Amino acid sequence: MPSTASEPDRVASKGSKGPQRVATYRFAFSWEGPYGHAVKLVERYAQRGLVLDLGCGYAAVGEVLRDAGWEYVGGDRDTDAVADVVARGLEGHVIDLAMSDGLAVKLADIIEWRAVGAVLLLDIIEHLPDPFAVLRELARLSASLAADGREAPVLVTSIPNVAHFDLAAKLVGGRWDVTPSGLLDRTHLVLFTETRVDAELGRMGWQECGRDDVILEHSDQWFPIDHPFLVEGGPVHDHLRALRASADPNMKVNQFVRAYRRLQRSVPDDRISRLARHEDAVGIAPGLGVPFLSVLTRTEGTRPGRLAETLTCLASQRMEDLEVVVLVHGQAPGSVHTCEEVVDSFEESFASRVRVEQVRGDRRSAHLNAGLTLARGRYVAFLDEDELVTADWAQRFAEGAAVAPGKLIRSLSGVRRVREPAPDEGAMGASPVTLSKPVTQSGDRFTLLAHLAGSPTPLSSLALPRSLVSELHFCFDERLAAADDWDLVLRAALLVGVEETGEVTSIEQRPDDTAALTADLPEALEGARASVLAELDKSPLLLPLGSATALFRLSGGQSASTAHDSQLATLERELEKTKSALTRAKARPKKGQLVDESARVEGLLDRIDELEGRAKQAEKARDELLASEFWRATAPLRSMVSLFRGNPRATEGR
């Protein structure tokens, strides 16, 4: 039993006899605690009549309900507690919920002809060896009351949340502090998170109709207060807290206080699907028919030929364990139908794996977010209508995910320039005119700091683990007018890291007149990036391995990189000097032309030999430096530093 706003007056009673002898708590009533919240739910959702409080202990809510006009009936296996209830003028019965067989019949006998407004299970089911049997018996009771033509009661529960942040943060540090009472009461036999509450009550046909959870910023598990993971304002605490906040809204929930009604008909499909998701999430039943990859393809639905080409690339994938969701964002009449016709023109084995969905919104991020909710695969990839991929595109993602499951998978991409055909280019039809071969766009290796400095990774070369979406509600930031892809990659890389395939597998076809069309892009881009950075600044960042050295260099610290820079510059200067001396020496009169100056000519030739030797030596030293592992490994960092320093060469290079 959790201690919350209502502190126990006394934690003792003889309790009942039996194999599991559990002390009965005597908690005071408080409107701020779970009892007060439960009473409010009764008032809000129950029909007038009897309130059956099972596992009532000393009936903390008894008088409150009675005074509010409810007919209170308490039930507990602790005879002393029941005697106390009765002595206070309340109806009480000895009921052992641990012996659930025949519970529905026993309760029906107690109820007799009376109308039942609510059944309460307040901080009790976590103490039962088989709480689900009790829920099933209550479902039977509800069904039998309904069968008699009586109103089915509302079930009101209070269940402690073992995923409260305090408890969860300490568990990361390996602590599991069982206490005499509270969230980790030593007598708790079954532990609950919201997912489990939903799943188990849903399985018995109980559908939530209201909630009034008890929120506690600091639970009884907030100790020791100087535990490193509980230090407010500390990076670890704040980072864990930010992560948890994105996962679900329950990190401050101490008790789930909720009201349920029994579904008299069969469980609806969406409920079943929620249950299936839960089972999948907890590994009970791996999702049947879940593909490895969901591909989100945006289209306006007005260029069927281009869509057909992109779909052809997907139909040609060697790794066939994928589904395609065509996201039609154009609002032109018939655009969805056009896309469906394109899909239907493909062979059945592929077309059956493609869905066409209309999505709303002006921005790419809105379309893709809609797609993320529709995706079913373990990973999600993005391929717009104007993009093409090689046959190993999906396969490389799968290989990367096999090596590093859960990481962001990154391949390389090329960009080629295209233009729309001119009116006199009749042979082209609606096809674009290709102007260049694909040029690799993204760097060979991904580094977080280089990405932060603006190095792009196109969406078509990425596969996002859908666990980020299902576990942390990850999505594109629809507030951004630009750089939404940059933001997504950055946030994903910060959370799960990046696994690289090193293969060029996608081709973006970029209109040749991009510069003219997007003259205002840099400004929008800079504004968006500033917004992204401001958002990231709100939480601590978890940087990948190797970041300390990289940050040290970035902040201007002396390092091996600086020494190499200096060494290279010296070698380059030496080489230039030697080459120029060599040129001058060679320009002088040659042997045979000035016979009487032979001695001087011999000297010059020796000088040329010497200079050539030095030039070769300097070249060799420079080449060795440039080929060194260190030099290659630090290339992205150097370009980033150059960028920050405003080096014009680096800017041109982008």
Partner 1 sequence: MATALRVQTVRYGGEAPRLLRMVSSVAAAARQLQGSTSVRELTVAIGDCGGPDGPDAVLEGPVLAEAREVLERAGVSLDYVAFDTNTGHGVGQNLLAARSPGPGRTADDEVLVLANPDTYLTPKCLTMLLGALEGGTGIAEARQIPLEHPKFFDPATGETPWASGCLMALRLALFASLGGFEPAFFLHGDDVDLSWRTRFRGFLVRHVPEAAVFHDKQLSDTGLPVAGPEEEYHAMLARLMLAHRAERRDIVGWWLDWIDIEGSPLQRDAAVEYLRRHTEGVLPATYREALGVSPEAVASVTRFDEGEYAEHRF
Query: C-alpha 115: how far from its chain's center?
Result: 47
Residues of this chain, 323-362, that bind partner 1 according to CB under 8 A? 342, 345-347, 349-350
Nearer to partner 1, 6 or 506 (CB): 506
Of the pair 126, 323, the CB lying nearest partner 1 is at: 323
Q: Which residues contact 551 (CB under 8 A, 6 or more apart)?
A: 449, 543
H-type helices in 443-597, by residue range?
A: 448-452, 467-472, 484-496, 514-517, 521-536, 547-554, 560-587
Binders of partner 1 among 503-542, rule CB under 8 A?
503-505, 507
* Residue 320 within binding range of partner 1, rule CB under 8 A: yes
Contact flags string 242-261 toward partner 1, x per CB under 8 A: --------------------
Contact region for partner 1 (CB under 8 A) — 151-159, 304-312, 565-573, 626-634? Answer: 304-312
* Residue 630, number of CB atoms within 10 A of its CB: 10
Vertex 47 angle, CA 136 and 146, to 5°: 45
Q: CB 425 → partner 1: shortest distance, Å?
A: 4
Between 313 and 409, name the residue whose CB sits nearer to partner 1: 313
Q: How big is the chain, counted in residues?
A: 654
- The counts of H helices and E strands in the chain are 25, 20
Of 161 and 509, the one with the shorter C-beta distance to partner 1 is 509
CB of 390 to partner 1, least distance (A): 6
Q: Which stretch binds partner 1 (CB under 8 A): 84-92, 262-270, 362-370, 497-505?
A: 497-505
Structure tokens given for 228: 């490193």
In the complex with partner 1, the residue whose CB is nearer, 267 or 351, is: 351
Report the nearest approach of partner 1 to the CB of residue 397 (Å): 15
Out of 305, 334, 546, 589, point to the residue binding partner 1 (CB under 8 A).
305
Return the number of the residue (436 or 567) whose C-beta is nearest partner 1: 436
Which of residues 72 and 350 has its CB atom nearest to partner 1 in the complex?
350
Q: Specify the residue, 316 or 583, whose C-beta has the smaller distance to partner 1.
A: 316
The reply to whether 30 sits near partner 1 by the rule CB under 8 A is: no
As a whole number of angstroms, the distance between CA 380 and CA 374 comes to: 10
Taking the complex as a whole, the smallest distance from the CB of residue 432 to partner 1 amounts, in Å, to: 8
593 is a site residue for partner 1 (CB under 8 A): no
Nearer to partner 1, 231 or 435 (CB): 435
Report phi then psi at 446, rounded to 5.
-90, 130
Tokens encoding 600: 């001087």
The answer to the question of residue 302 lying near partner 1 (CB under 8 A) is: no
Q: State the DSSP code for 391.
A: T
**The CA-based dihedral angle spanning residues 41, 43, 49, 52, taken in that order and rounded to the nearest 10 degrees:** 30
Site string for partner 1, 440-479 (x = CB under 8 A): x---x-----------------------------------
Query: Is residue 397 a contact point for partner 1 (CB under 8 A)?
Result: no
Site map for partner 1, 413-442, x if CB under 8 A? -x-x----xx-xxxxxxxx-xxxxxxxx--
Q: Which of 91, 323, 392, 484 binds partner 1 (CB under 8 A)?
A: 392
Closest distance of CB 367 from partner 1, Å: 23
Q: Which of 69, 2, 61 is nearest to 28 (CA)?
A: 61
Comparing CA positions, the residue from 480, 496, 472, 494 lying closest to residue 372 is 472
Task: Give CA angle at 645 (641, 646), nearest 5°.
Answer: 115
Checking DSSP bridges between strand 498-511 and strand 387-389, what pairing results, if any? antiparallel
**φ, ψ for residue 593 (rounded to 5)?**
-80, -30
- Tell me which residue of 70, 71, 69, 76 sits closest to 26, measured CA to CA: 76
In 3D space, the residue among 389, 350, 384 whose CA is nearest the CA of residue 367 turns out to be 384
Residue type, 97: L
For residues 529 and 486, the answer to whether their CB atoms sit within 8 Å is: yes
Quick one: DSSP state of residue 213? P
**Least Cβ distance, residue 139 to partner 1 (angstroms):** 50
| Residue 62 main-chain phi, psi, to 5 deg | -55, -60
Smallest distance, partner 1 to C-beta of residue 422, A = 8
What does the CA dihedral 365, 366, 367, 373 come to, rounded to 10 degrees?
Answer: 100
The answer to whether 27 touches 59, Cβ cutoff 8 Å, is no
Least distance in Å: CB of 489 to partner 1? 20
Site string for partner 1, 370-389 (x = CB under 8 A): ------------------xx
Pairing between strand 354-358 and 439-440?
unpaired
The size of the interface with partner 1 (CB under 8 A), counted in residues, is: 46
Applying CB under 8 A, among 391, 543, 585, 608 the residue interacting with partner 1 is: 391
148 binds partner 1 (CB under 8 A): no
Applying CB under 8 A, which residues contact partner 1?
305, 308-309, 312-313, 315-316, 318, 320, 342, 345-347, 349-350, 388-392, 412, 414, 416, 421-422, 424-431, 433-440, 444, 503-505, 507
